[in-house]
Amino acid sequence: MTRLTDYTRYADAHRHYSKQALWALFDGDKDALNIAHECVDRHAGRGIEGDVAIRVAHADGRDEVITFTELSAWSGRVASFLVARGVKPGERVAMMLEPSLAFYAALFGAMKMGAVAVPLFTLFGPEGLRLRMDDCSPALLLLAPEKHELAAAAGTEVVIADERWLAEVAQQPVRAPIASRADDMALYQYTSGTTRELPEAVKHRHRAIVTVAIAALYATGVRPGDRYMCPSSPAWGHGLWHGTLAPLGLGVSIAAYAGKFDAERLLQATADYGITNMSAAATHYRLMKNSGAASRHVYGLKKLTFTGEPIDSATAEWAAHTFGTPVCSIYGTTEVGVIIANYPGADDLPVKPGALGKPVPGVEVAVLDRAGLPCAAGVIGEIMLRRGDGWFPTKDLGHLDEDGYFYHNGRADDVIISAGWTMSAVEIEDTLLKHPDVAECAAIGVPDATRGQVVKAYVVSPRAASDAFVSEIQKFAQERLSRHEYPRQVEFVDELPKTPAGKVNRNALRARLQEQA
């Protein structure tokens, strides 16, 4: 039987896609569906990649290999452990663990016994943890041994998930997944970019494993036989859904990164594991480029994707040259999921520099003006998603070209208007990053008595700050953009504020200015 995984071309993706064909990729249906079964149990012993489910590159140089068969058994034992501790279906089980056997066994074990899994970022401090514990009220928190000092902030029962815990779990019987329904709650996921004082989880049901397969097929280009890697933390949407659940749901072997990020370690693992398909944040590619270590390894990459924020053109060119394949965009939001992609692996949809790509099957996307009318090619408006009889705003600006490709023109609040000129923070940053002495940068609009706003650039550079360097940067931007489109203010910083997922946090820069004022 021909399945959606058999098609790689853009035209075939739209010709053969249907909701029924999507469901046919899985064992379950709307009456009986469990993420743990779809991602783990049904693939155990099938001989896929020698039964390897997950490879973990630890920052200290260790490599960890977990098979589908091992993970099926270990997650079943964790399910029994949770039941023995009194956890009931529907209750939350939080886990603050780096990618490891303990993390994946806990993630799938919680869902196996009907609990709601809540993965948490391991760099949260006491207050960050407490706020999320207050929000989800878990029955239990599984805590990494190196984070034991946070136990007092949890406000709930805490289990230190160390070797002794694994030894205890090993004595438990292997429990099969409960007969959960597609509409039963499965996961809480906290977003990385929220500016809310009180965090709120995005809640996912078991049917989300079917929906996210759209992103796997068309945004990351996952196909049987791939060796796939995503270095993003599985506490965030990219690392959890696109890096872990979606590829495992299709039976594809994955690789993850654990511990403090090191670009050279990622490059080494990419080569050592024979990775053929990688999806990473734009920041990951930039750090790999800046490390200067890429030439030390030989790679087998065939498909590359990025997400999180726009990738600057210099980094995109470096990635294509280094890995031998263009890096493709994935565009979406936490609220709507992936809606535009560049279909990696499709030979009938060439990658255009700077383009987001085209809509994934099953969605309608448009660029609309303030009156709600479609914008002509080249005209900037807001990227909108059709929902029912109306349009859902993404709060991102964009435009279409004559071939129907979408382009990102920044967040609506990242547009800078100075003396009547409209400028894009993203475009200015992209230009500055082409300067050989600019490692990272961020541009925002700051108040100005004469022009309303002017551009201020925050620059990270190995070169010493000086007035001459500021003038050089300004001239560099003017010569490549226009005489008016350059940063009138430049501040050199040791590092840029970022969200936990690695995106440059321009809101934090604006807040810093307000505090200074």
Interacting residues of 101 by C-beta distance below 8 A, sequence separation 6+: 64, 66, 70, 71, 74, 166
Dist CA 56 CA 58 (whole Å) = 6
With a cut of 90, say whether residue 424 has pLDDT above it. no
Distance CA 458, CA 231 (A): 26
Query: pLDDT tens digits for 208-253?
Result: 999 999 999 999 999 999 999 999 999 988 999 999 999 999 999 9
CA distances from 390 to 335, 428, 476 (A): 16, 34, 44
Over the stretch 458-492, which tens digit does the pLDDT of each residue have? 999 999 999 999 999 999 998 888 777 889 999 99
Q: What is the pLDDT of residues 355-412, one digit of tens each?
A: 999 999 999 999 999 899 999 999 999 999 999 889 998 888 899 999 999 998 877 7
Going from the C-alpha of 507 to that of each of 413, 443, 453, the distances in angstroms are 9, 11, 16
Span 24-35, mean pLDDT? Answer: 96
How does pLDDT run across 268-299, given as a tens digit for each residue?
Answer: 999 999 999 999 988 899 899 999 999 999 99
pTM of the model: 0.84
DSSP 165-213: HHHHHHTSPPPPPP---TTSEEEEE--SS---SS--PEEEETTHHHHTH
* Confidence band, pLDDT 50/70/90 cuts, at residue 48: low
- Token pair, residue 452, equals 């309303």
Cα–Cα distances in angstroms (integers) from residue 492 to residues 455, 461, 473, 501, in the given order: 14, 7, 11, 23
Average confidence (pLDDT) over 43-72? 92
CA gap 186, 203 in Å, rounded: 8
Residue 499's identity, in one-letter code, is T
Give exposure, 318-338, as e/b (b: 16+ Cβ within 10 Å).
bbeebbebbbbbbbbbeeebb
Catalogue all structural domains in the chain, each as residue range(s) with its CATH number.
4-341 (3.40.50.12780), 364-404 (no CATH), 413-516 (3.30.300.30)
Question: Tokens standing for 253?
Answer: 């072997």
Long-range contacts, stretch 175-178, CB < 8 angstroms, 24+ apart: 175/76, 175/77, 175/79, 175/80, 175/83, 175/112, 175/113, 176/41, 176/76, 176/112, 177/34, 177/36, 177/37, 177/41, 177/79, 177/111, 177/112, 177/113, 178/34, 178/89, 178/112, 178/113, 178/114
Distance of CA 242 to the CA centre of its chain: 7
What phi and psi values does residue 184 have, to the nearest 5 degrees? -75, 145
The average confidence (pLDDT) of the chain is 92
Residue with tokens 């050592």: 272
Instruction: Measure CA of the first residue to CA of the last residue in the chain; give whole Å.
Output: 65
* Distance separating alpha carbons of residues 112 and 72, to the nearest angstrom: 10
> What Rg, from alpha-carbon coordinates, does the chain have?
23
The Cα 71–Cα 111 span in angstroms is 13
User: Which pLDDT value is given to residue 243?
Assistant: 97
pLDDT score for 439: 93
Q: Which of 71-80, 132-141, 301-310, 318-327 is least confident?
A: 301-310
